[in-house]
Amino acid sequence: MGTENSGTVEISEPLLEEPSKIPESDSENIPDWKEQITIRGLVVSAVLGTLFCIITHKLNLTVGIIPSLNVAAGLLGFFFVKSWTGFMSQLGFSVKPFTKQENTVIQTCVVACYGLAFSGGFGSYLLAMDEKTYNLIGPDYPGNRAEDVKNPGLLWMMGFIFVVSFLGLFSLVPLRKVMVMGYKLTYPSGTATAMLINSFHTNTGAELARNQVGRLGKYLSISFCWSCFKWFFSGIGDACGFDNFPTLGLTLFKNTFYFDFSPTYVGCGLICPHIVNCSVLFGAIISWGILWPLISQRAGDWYPADLGSNDFKGLYGYKVFIAISLILGDGLYNLIKIVSISVTEIFRNSSMENNIPLVMEVIGGESSRLELEKKKRDEVFLKDRIPFWFAGSGYVALAAISTATMPIIFPPLKWYLVLCSYLIAPALAFCNSYGTGLTDWSLASTYGKIGLFIIASLVGSNGGVVAGLAACGVMMSIVSTAADLMQDFKTGYLTLSSAKSMFVSQLVGTAMGCIIAPLTFWMYWNAFDIGSPDSPYKAPYAVIYREMAILGIEGFSELPKHCLALCCGFFVAALAINLLKDVTPAKVSQFIPIPMAMAVPFYIGAYFAIDMFVGTVILFVWEKINKKDADDFAGAVASGLICGDGIWTIPSAILSIFRINPPICMYFGPSVRT
């Protein structure tokens, strides 16, 4: 995670020049912004957006860790359109050339679409309102009222997403020149995607792209077939099949330590940084290996021994609230850190002249060529302007519509609270977008939690839970989409794509997501037992978000014995760990775990941590054997594993809807002596 913008710029800008070497003939034939948006591109975007929404929902409803799929979107977009143009050419039809600008538009559209599967709250704040989560916490739990229940509905969810998701796109459009060209923010994911797309559309990069697509297709097929094979042995419920294979023995299996043969989690392990995967495993060892067994021995003293496994006054309460404390500690630290860095860099940049020519002089004899390419990127980026009046009036109009509509969907959330949220949202969106540009770390969920606590406490016990959760959605959607848009502007800047085509593709992708994300969630909702502790789709963050809203109203009075002390300890530990990561040298800090990643298995279990660790071990060994091969193909292999398992979800859901159950229940138990 970067902490100083100046250092980041000096390192990244020279690296960007290599993939952006453009022949003169190519650089002079940049298509008009309207030509960059094609019918075939929109069709591919809709298909990939649907697939990635399904994958995001699955991860949201199981473990809550969503890896970046930007690179996969660029790669699959290239594969589909290239396959289509090649097929049509063989039939004798004349087809338009596939440009990197069109590739960038597809990637932008797909990211905007599947981003709403995360920021739309289908696995968090929206699901926290439903009756299952209410019953899971308990009707007699203080602050958990039956009146604060709103079950998922396809129409109201679509309406909610439509009225909140577009505001973030209009909030920062006037600042695109300042963010991308003035402050020269890096946006690492956007930069990496641009480098990939640029490499695809060169003679040398095309061969690598074909090989990457081949690997992706191979492992997608393997993952799909394996998931299909596993289904036949999974029986009814959540106790059968390879998902419950006691690979490390029955004793560890009882504490959720086992490898469950999930291609999705192994793929996540391949695509996530090593420190994230190791942090997840470390959190699993601390919680399920040490903490929960020790606390369970205190049953009858710290909490009543006869409570159910999902009672918040027992062990379950420790699991949820300690996870919350880690998440809040990590989020608070990074929020303060990134806002302070952003403010410092803003003042520093405003007091200094543009220093990029100095960097280019250090590079050597190619400074004039680099200057020409930079000038060309600047010209293309500024050519198609988006008027300030259009962005401003769009934001005001959408805010007015949302302010009038939100109280209809969520009556406890009064119009003046919504209006206040929209007055401060652009400032928070700027902070999040600037911080993402510096560090690649979006804190959308942290801003959402801040809104949740503030609004829940203001509304009080009479509807504060629903109002707080809805306010969380408003804030989270705005700051998330604003950061995504600015990151895509960076990608477009580096691929010589029009800013107007980027903005329009974001609008189209967001409109797609407003329909596709609720529809794909609705498939899960009708096919599977979402939110049940005994289901594979436990929706862990639904309980956490509802408890946060209750805490904002009721406080900590009903926590089990010593739970508050443990929560405070882990909250402080999260702050201390983050501080330690920042003050120690890089060779030491790279081994210090991330509290946010550690928190996830505290509540869910250790099984997915084992899978992700297997993925990171495979990648580590691969890098030792052949680093270039790993760098070139690890992302494609990971994307194939994740996408294949995600595709299998569709036929699995259809079978479940038609009540077709797996024929075999493969179950493991201890051998019995006769």
Per-residue pLDDT reduced to its tens digit, 274-299: 988 999 999 999 999 999 999 999 98
pLDDT at 541 over 60: yes
pLDDT at 344 over 60: yes
Check residue 40 and give its pLDDT: 94
Check residue 673 and give its pLDDT: 58
* Weakest-pLDDT range from 422-426, 456-460, 557-561: 557-561
Check residue 474 and give its pLDDT: 93
Please, are residues 205 and 495 in contact by the beta-carbon 8 Å criterion?
Answer: no
Give tens-digit pLDDT for 624-673.
999 999 988 988 898 888 888 888 888 888 888 888 889 999 988 887 65
Give tens-digit pLDDT for 225-279.
999 999 999 887 777 888 888 999 999 999 999 998 989 889 888 888 898 899 9
Half-sphere exposure of 433 (CA within 13 A, CB side): 32
Mean pLDDT across the chain, nearest whole number?
85
pLDDT at 366 over 60: no
Q: State the pLDDT confidence band at 473, using cuts at 50, 70 and 90.
A: very high
* Weakest-pLDDT range from 289-303, 380-394, 490-504: 380-394
For residues 189 and 438, what is the distance between their CA atoms, to the nearest angstrom?
Answer: 11
pLDDT at 12 over 50: no
Amino acid 458 reads: L
Check residue 364 and give its pLDDT: 46
Check residue 24 and give its pLDDT: 39
Instruction: Write out the two tokens for 497.
Output: 């794509």
Angle at which helices 464-494 and 100-119 cross, to 10°: 170
Check residue 112 and give its pLDDT: 94
For residues 75 and 68, what is the distance between their CA atoms, to the nearest angstrom?
Answer: 13
Q: Which residue in 122, 130, 100 sits closest to 53, CA to CA?
A: 122
Check residue 200 and give its pLDDT: 83
Question: CB-based burial of residue 458 (10 Å sphere; 0-12 exposed, 13-18 middle, 19+ buried)?
Answer: middle
Three-class DSSP labels, 320-389: HHHHHHHHHHHHHHHHHHHHHHHHHHHHHHHCCCCCHHHHHHHHCCCHHHHHHHHHHHHHHHHHCCCCHH
Average pLDDT over residues 92-118: 92
